[in-house]
Structure 1
Amino acid sequence: MLSVWLGWERLTHWWWHTRPLGPGGIFRYRLLVYTGLPVTLRDGCTVRPGHRIIDLHFDNRRLLRAAVEARDKPWSLLRAAREDLQTLASLVGAGELGEVRALRGVTLFARAGRRLGFEARPLPVTGTARLQRYFFVGLLAVYHPRGWQAAERFRERGWPGEAWMSRERLLDLYAARRETTARGTSESDA
């Protein structure tokens, strides 16, 4: 039964043409034209139908590998996510992804995205959101070392949400960090 989730995940990555952000990254992404209702973010950015956005996805295999390796260092997962966002900020800042308005991810972990600078919004209760929840909880059971035991609390109470970040916020938070990190490395190498 769990192989259904693995097959579905492979199919969605192929169908949506998601791309990894780096060899060890935990995010994948795709560019798309937004078709939902207008969304206004806290920084004043409004995303309307027709705007180009970056749709973020977890690379679940890499996420699990990173989580297992991070048992003794729980902050390393956060560091890996920040590194991916720095890579994304670099691509956006250089214009390599065209004119994008914002980033969005749909996940059971949307609230945790606040630590990375995202705004979290619960999805409305719809048939589509119920299917997404079913899929996400199944993926959690497939990839987590404790399987369904770990997924149980999300099956009972978890609800997917959207994690949003404007283009400007991404660049403010992560483009400067990459430049600072690069300067610090080159100065220490001298």
Structure 2
Amino acid sequence: MYAKMRSYVITIWTILDPIYYFFTRLTYIDDESNKNIFRVRLTRYKGKSCVLSDGTTIKKNDMLVKIHLHNVILLKELIGHQGETIKARIIYNQVKNSLPSLAKYLHNHPEQSYIKGIIGITALNKGCRRLGFETHSISNKYYLLFKQVVFMPMYCLAVSNVSLKSLRRPPMYLFMSKNRLLDLYYKEE
């Protein structure tokens, strides 16, 4: 019963996703493989200042590339897989395989010199440090609550065993400076 309901929800999500895509001003990253899990847009940072490990300071109104996971593709990829470790590995590999295209996108972007780095928000942040990301807490309590509510349906669809403790896991900002992204993932052609 749960699997059938999950399938219906993913079908509805697939239908509504183009509307979401339109209103959020997201763009796809040009990628020859068409398997990039990211959709992106330029944004101005509105949180508290933070200093990344490489010395990059992210301040209010700095320009960043905001990354969004393409949840429909990701959910379809996760269907049929059992175990949270396997699902986490799938997500990790999808993100890892998409980062070189993101680095190329940033390197070739007309606003590249003004962009400080990339930002994302996720509650699934285990393993992100191995990819080069840094996590920072969301300080605005209302925005944090909003993100917890927004992430709840995705989380419930993605995991096999939903617990109250796991639903309370706070979303975090993920940052990576432009220099770190390019150092780790950009390859000159």
Distance 1:172 1:132, change over 3 A: same
1:130 matches 2:145: yes
Correspondence for 2:119 = 104
Taking the aligned partners of 2:65 and 2:21, their CA distance within structure 1 comes to 15
TM-score (norm 1): 0.75
Taking the aligned partners of 1:140 and 1:167, their CA distance within structure 2 comes to 29
1:150 matches 2:162: yes
The letter of the residue matching 1:163 is: L
For residue 78 of structure 1, the aligned residue among 92, 95, 101 is: 92
1:20 matches 2:28: yes
Equivalent residues, number:
172
Cα deviation 1:36-80 (Å, max 9, x = unaligned): 322211100011223210111111111122334776994454332
Task: Determine helix, strand or coil for the equivalent of 1:150.
Answer: coil
Q: How does 1:1-190 map to 2 (within 5 A)?
A: 6=13, 12-21=20-29, 22=31, 23-68=34-79, 74=86, 75-99=89-113, 100-124=115-139, 126-141=141-156, 143-144=157-158, 146=160, 149-150=161-162, 152-155=164-167, 157-176=168-187, 179=188
Taking the aligned partners of 1:8 and 1:154, their CA distance within structure 2 comes to 26
Query: Deviation at 1:97?
Result: 4.9
Taking the aligned partners of 1:95 and 1:128, their CA distance within structure 2 comes to 29
Taking the aligned partners of 2:104 and 2:147, their CA distance within structure 1 comes to 30
TM-score (norm 2): 0.75
The letter of the residue matching 2:64 is: I
2:92/2:127 contact within 8 Å kept: no
Taking the aligned partners of 1:52 and 1:164, their CA distance within structure 2 comes to 12
2:133/2:176 contact within 8 Å kept: yes
Taking the aligned partners of 2:28 and 2:185, their CA distance within structure 1 comes to 18
The letter of the residue matching 2:51 is: T
Query: Deviation at 1:163?
Result: 0.6
Distance 1:138 1:77, change over 3 A: closer
With 5-14 and 162-171 compared, the bigger mean Cα shift is at: 5-14
Identity %: 22
Task: Determine helix, strand or coil for the equivalent of 2:64.
Answer: strand
1:137/1:154 contact within 8 Å kept: no
Structure 1 unaligned spans of 5+: 183-190
2:63/2:116 contact within 8 Å kept: yes
Distance 1:64 1:164, change over 3 A: same
* Cα RMSD after superposing both structures: 3.1
1:108/1:158 contact within 8 Å kept: yes
1:89/1:174 contact within 8 Å kept: yes
